[in-house]
Each structure stands twice: as C-alpha cells, then as structure tokens.
Structure 1
Amino acid sequence: MPAASAASVPLRAATPVVLAERYAAGRDAIRAAERTASGGGHRWRAAMLRAMADPARRFLFFDGRDGGRAAEVFGDLTGAERIAVLVPGSDTDLDRYGYLRGGSLRLLHKLGGGSAVIAWLGYRTPGTVSLAALTSGRAEEVAPDLRTFIRELSAAKPAARISLLCHSYGSVVCARAESGLDVADIVLYGSAGVGVDDVAALRTRATVWAGRGAADWISDVPHTRLRLPFVTVGFGADPVSPEFGARVFAAGVGGHSDYLKGGSVALENIARIVSGQAPSEAGRGA
C-alpha cells in the first residue's frame, strides 16, 4: 500500500487551517490504500479503510504498508488544554486497530471537554510471543519518530498539558524516546519493564506513573535483563516496584487488555492523571 503524505504537511500550529490540511492529507493516503486493497481483492481491508476515510475521522498521518502506521485524533485538538498520546504495545496494527481506537474514545469521554486523545500507531509492533517483544530493537528504531512527533505537537500546542500513555511494549518505546521531551506525565501500564533500573535513568522532567491490573499476566514475566552476544533480552526492573521509583496508581482487577475498559479503575485513574489530578486510591491492591 502507498505511504502516507500527511506527515509532509508540517504541524506548524494547531490552527483549524493547518489541521484541516493535515487531516486532508491523511484522508488522501487512506483512500489511496483503499484503492490498492480493492484492486487486490482484499474486501475486508478495503471496507475498513473506507470507514477510516470518513470525513468525521481525523488522521495526522497514515501509512498502510507493513502492518500500518497512523495517528488518529479524537476530540478537538485546536482547543484542547489536555492531550493524551497513546502508544500501544504488541500485536497492534491496522487489522487489529479496534482495541486502540475503542480505548481512545473511552478515555476521551472520561476526560470531557477541553481534551484530545491521539492514538499513535507509529511503528511495527512486535508479536506478543516473539523474540522482538523481549528486546528493545523495535523501540530503538521508532524512538526518534515518537520524539519528533511529541516535539512537533508541543510546538503546535505550547500551552497544552501533554501526557504520554504507554501500554505494554509501548512503554519501552516511550522510555527510548523520552529524554528531553516536554511532557507532563509518562504513564506506564501493563509494562514488563522499560530497559532501565529506575526513573532517574530516564532523564525526564515528567512525572512517571506505573500501574498494573491484578489479573494482568505481564506480572509473571521475569524482571531481568540477560545480555547475550548479539542482543539483550528482557527489560529489567519492575515499573511498579518501589525500587523503580515511579508513582504507582491503582489499576483495579483487570487484565492486560483492560486498562482503558469502560468503568475500570485504571481508566478512571489514567484520566485523572492526564487531567493533572491525583489518582484515586480505590482499587489499589485489589
């Protein structure tokens, strides 16, 4: 499928005119991908892309190749005082985009007016059961792209409070990109680790939060790093451990895919963090 042209439209400022140009470029890229899918007989994907090209949806960039890359905006970015950027983890691509989109919409609803959520699928995520999911290679490849995106967004919205929400392997991506970024919060959830021993090693001015649901299988992943001749496997310190030094928030009883589930303790507390409020203690240790 053809690459996106949306990213070639600079996000100079988050004005209606600039954003309209960027969204139009993203829509053009999606429609080009739809034509390619239709021509190749891929009816299901063509239908999915047709839905993504709806004028009511807004993409800052789109690339349909190699699993897909996209950044979809939920809410009014022009007037947003609070912006949450969601960085997904393993097994997320355009064919399995519904989970990321659904979580973004639920978070926006919880945040209320004056907010925007950006679902940033900016990389080829690893498979959950794969060596790539146990190493930092994919994160290191894409970290410069996330860093550029956040800096561009910060420049376009200098007065907005920006939070980076990092799920599972996405937390490794955030850790690799974070040094020097102007964000208020980094929220790690469902994370096996980020590849450093503690928050100080992230070299960030942001407040670092960590949460894990009681039924999340990620808690069973060993918190070690094994240095092999050509690769290091594992991500070290547990983000919710006292030694790591993050501010731990209650995430309730949910599993690995439940953090942005409607009515969940985790969704409530992530929304509170994005809004600059202290998370609730309810559900801690449940």
Structure 2
Amino acid sequence: MGRTTGAAEPSVPSRARRTHRLRRALLATLITGAVVVPLSGATRPEIPAPAPAALATPVTAAALDETYAANRANAVEASRMAAAHGDRDRAAADRAMADPSRHFLSFDGRGSGRATEVFGDLAHADRIAVLVPGSDTSIDTYDRFRDAARALHERLTRQAPRGTRTAVLAWLGYETPATVSTTVTTTDRADEAAPKLREFIRQLRALTADEQTGKRPHISLLCHSYGSVVCGRAASHLDVDDIALVGSPGTGADTAAALHTPARVWAARGGGDWVAEVPHVRLDLLGTTVGFGTDPISPSFGARVFAAGDGGHSDYFRPGSTSLANLTRIVLGETPEASHG
C-alpha cells in the first residue's frame, strides 16, 4: 500500500525516541533470556582442592622460581583431589597446569579456580602485558585464555626491538560471570574484581621495580569483553601505562576521561564481533542497574580507536590477525593502525 497523502514524516526526535525504546526492549529481552535459560554450571558440585600454597608476601623477583614450584605442587594436589572426587576434566586441567614448563604467580583450584600464568622473563622484562579475561573463563576453560596470552607473547618476542625484553601475564584473578546469566549484564562481578586487580598491579610494580636504577617496566592492561568492565571499574587506581579495551560491551563510564586514569585508553572491535549488537545503555530495572553505558569505540567516549580487522568476539588474539598486530604495537609503545570504520 502507498503512503497516505499528506502524512507527515516522523521527526528526528521521534525516530531517536523509537530507537531508544527499541534498544531498551532489546536489552530487557536479553536480561529476561539470561534469567530463564538454565545455566549449565549452576548445579555443578563444588570441586575439592587445597588452599593456595603459602608464599612469601610480597613475592620478590629473587623468589619467583620458588613461587612457581610451590604453585605447581599445589596444582598436582588439586588434580589428585579432583580425580578422587570423580571430576576427570578438572583433574586433567589441574594436571596440565602442574607441568614443569608452566610458571604461575598464583594458583587456586577451588571453585571455578583462579590463576596467574607468566610467559617470559618477568623479573627482567621492560614491557609487560596483563590480560584480563571476559565471561565464562575458569580453570575448566582456561586453555583458550592461555592460547591468547601465548599468541601475544610469541608475537612480542618476534617483534620487540633488539634488547627489549617482554613478558605476558594471564590474570584469571576473579570469578567471571557466565555469558548466559544476569550477572553478565551488571557491574557486580567487576566491582568485586576491581580491588583484586588493583592489588595485583600494585604487587607487580613492587616485584618488577629496579630499586638501584629506579627503572620500572611499561605495563599495558589488555581487557577483553567483560574484562573491560573490570578494567573500567579499577582504572582510577591502576598504575599502568595503557588500557586497551577489545570486544567491550562498555566500561560503566560514559567517557574515557571518566575513568580517571593517566593511562592511554585504547579501544577496538572486530567487524564480526556480536558485541556491536548489544545496546550500549545503562538502565534501572527492578532496582538493579544493567548495561555499561557508552560504546568505547564511539567518538563520544574519547578512546584511541585502533583497527581490529574483521574478526569475531574470540579472535582478538588470533595469530596473524590485525588486532593482535596492533595490540603488540601498543605493548611495545608503537603506534597501532588506526580504525577506518
């Protein structure tokens, strides 16, 4: 049917209101789905594991080998207890972490698990990258997070200028939310994680500082998906040089300036990342604030936007990708390729 003669075109404010209502409705639908869809891990029995190894506090550069050995021994015991409990998958994951080639600053096999793995010579590194993971990351799914950290370290090793030493840390230091859950739509888990990330960075600075020369390494925080919410909530008290947000649903702040950090704030999103379809709003629903505000790659947020290619949500650290190449440049203090999207 044709348009009625003389009907007025919708005004720009009217179209904007309709778009806003659509976004609110979509976000509400996502939240409703998160509530009604059963969570696969919700009824999983608690997996027994020993308490974390007793370590000297703070850990020093001289004690790193001792720390790594103690955490490997703890992972061996965690594997034994998980096997006795009948959880073969967790036992295998713990056993892999106990391999003599692995280096953990921390390990805790209880519950969903916590771990901080080191790639490279941390004690002498000039450039350090700390990866903060997003939802559904635990000891059971740790391999994909480890693959990202390892891919970055391999790229840094190849690309670093002669004489520049690098290290990458995979920081699984908080209980990540499930992708299909109500917790993934709020900052609650990020608010719990923020002080832990701040304390970790404080200890990392103490561990890596050269007291004789006053030299300290350049630290870049690379935050993926919900991990960018964690970094956003912690940013104002983090002694880091760069904060890179990739695949971010938002940070809980409306602008990069509102993060109150002297660090350079970067942002990128791959062309195939589904996060682009998530409404970047904050709403009060049933007394709870859901959503994370302004899209970090939007001009209004004010981050330094760099190219991430056409990859999807899990492709930012894929070997050979545009995003990995640019994250490497950020860690090395070089200028990444700008986004042309």
Q: Find the partner of 1:5 among 40, 52, 55.
A: 52
Paired AA for residue 153 in structure 1: L
- Structure 1 counterpart of 2:266: 209
Paired AA for residue 77 in structure 2: A
Q: State how many pairs are aligned.
A: 282
Q: Does 1:126 align with 2:126?
A: no
State the Cα deviation string for residues 50-80 of structure 1 (Å, max 9, x = none): 1210111011111112211100111111121
Q: Is the 8 A contact 1:69 1:94 kept in 2?
A: yes
Q: How far apart, in 2, do the equivalents of 1:162 and 1:152 lie?
A: 13
Q: Is the 8 A contact 1:80 1:114 kept in 2?
A: yes
1:259 is paired with a residue whose SS is: coil
Q: Is the 8 A contact 2:94 2:109 kept in 1?
A: no
Q: Find the partner of 2:308 among 228, 248, 251.
A: 251
The alignment's TM-score, normalised by the length of structure 1, stands at: 0.95
- Structure 1 counterpart of 2:232: 175
Which structure has the bigger radius of gyration? 2
- Structure 2 counterpart of 1:106: 151
- Structure 2 counterpart of 1:267: 324
**Runs of 4 or more above 6 Å deviation:** none
Q: Does 1:71 align with 2:122?
A: no
1:95 is paired with a residue whose SS is: coil
- Structure 1 counterpart of 2:253: 196
- Structure 1 counterpart of 2:202: 151
Paired AA for residue 65 in structure 2: A
Q: Does 1:53 align with 2:98?
A: yes
Q: Is the 8 A contact 2:123 2:207 kept in 1?
A: no
Pair 161,6 (structure 1): closer, same or farther in 2 beyond 3 Å:
farther
Pair 62,12 (structure 1): closer, same or farther in 2 beyond 3 Å:
closer
Q: How far apart, in 1, do the equivalents of 2:328 and 2:53 lie?
A: 29
Q: How far apart, in 1, do the equivalents of 2:83 and 2:141 lie?
A: 19
Q: How far apart, in 2, do the equivalents of 1:123 and 1:180 lie?
A: 17
Paired AA for residue 29 in structure 1: N
Q: 1:78-89 maps to which residues of 2 (within 5 A)?
A: 78-89=123-134
Q: How far apart, in 1, do the equivalents of 2:54 and 2:198 lie?
A: 14
Q: Find the partner of 1:92 among 133, 137, 146.
A: 137
Structure 2 residues without counterparts, runs of 5 or longer: 1-47, 158-163, 210-215
Q: How large is the Cα RMSD of the aligned pairs?
A: 1.4
Paired AA for residue 133 in structure 1: V
Pair 7,136 (structure 1): closer, same or farther in 2 beyond 3 Å:
farther
State the Cα deviation string for residues 186-220 of structure 1 (Å, max 9, x = none): 00000010001101111101000000000000000
Pair 229,3 (structure 1): closer, same or farther in 2 beyond 3 Å:
farther
Q: Is the 8 A contact 1:85 1:165 kept in 2?
A: yes
Question: 1:46 Cα shift?
Answer: 1.6
- Structure 2 counterpart of 1:240: 297
State the Cα deviation string for residues 73-94 of structure 1 (Å, max 9, x = none): 1111112111100000011111
Q: How far apart, in 2, do the equivalents of 1:284 and 1:251 lie?
A: 10
Q: Does 1:22 align with 2:79?
A: no
Q: How far apart, in 2, do the equivalents of 1:45 and 1:197 lie?
A: 40
State the Cα deviation string for residues 148-206 of structure 1 (Å, max 9, x = none): 00011012113111111100000011111121321010000000100011011111010
Pair 277,227 (structure 1): closer, same or farther in 2 beyond 3 Å:
same
Q: Is the 8 A contact 2:220 2:240 kept in 1?
A: yes
The alignment's TM-score, normalised by the length of structure 2, stands at: 0.80
2:244 is paired with a residue whose SS is: strand
Pair 29,193 (structure 1): closer, same or farther in 2 beyond 3 Å:
same
Deviates more, 1:32-41 or 1:163-172: 32-41
Structure 1 residues without counterparts, runs of 5 or longer: none
